Amino acid sequence: MASEMREPTFWVLTALTGGRRHGYALMEEARELSGGRFNLKVATLYAALERLGQQGWVALDGDEVVDGRLRRYFRLTDTGAAELEVEVARLEANAHQARTRLQARRALRPLAAS
């Protein structure tokens, strides 16, 4: 059984599904995709990118200098996309179980007990 994916990993991989991104763009996209519920910190992002690179889930995809600052770009690998697919299926299965249980609970409770 696959282990649960950490939230920073989930959001980094999800952000990279849209194409190559540099660090700041990854942080912004993760915030946007999560509806503002998740904010990647710089240290967390680069630690995650290092680990994901070692796992082969993310690959370095070039550098460029913009306004005197180096931007390092990353891309999602096929292995990373496959791992994200597994996590999405796990989350969907969990949500389905919870939704089914909540619906059953509502059906069994009298309206006055809400």
Domain locations in the chain? 7-109
User: How many CB atoms are closer than 10 A to CB 9?
Assistant: 21
Cβ atoms 8, 45 nearer than 8 A:
yes
Looking up tokens 């070692």, which residue turns up?
A: 54
- Give pLDDT tens digits along the chain (114 positions): 457 899 999 999 999 999 999 999 999 999 999 999 999 999 999 999 999 999 999 999 999 998 888 899 999 999 999 999 999 999 999 999 999 999 998 888 776 555
Cβ atoms 39, 47 nearer than 8 A:
no
Indicate the class that CATH gives domain 7-109.
mainly alpha
- pTM listed for this prediction: 0.86
SS (H, E, C) 43-90: HHHHHHHHHHHHHCCEEEEEEEEECCEEEEEEEECHHHHHHHHHHHHH
Residue 51 identity (one-letter amino acid): R
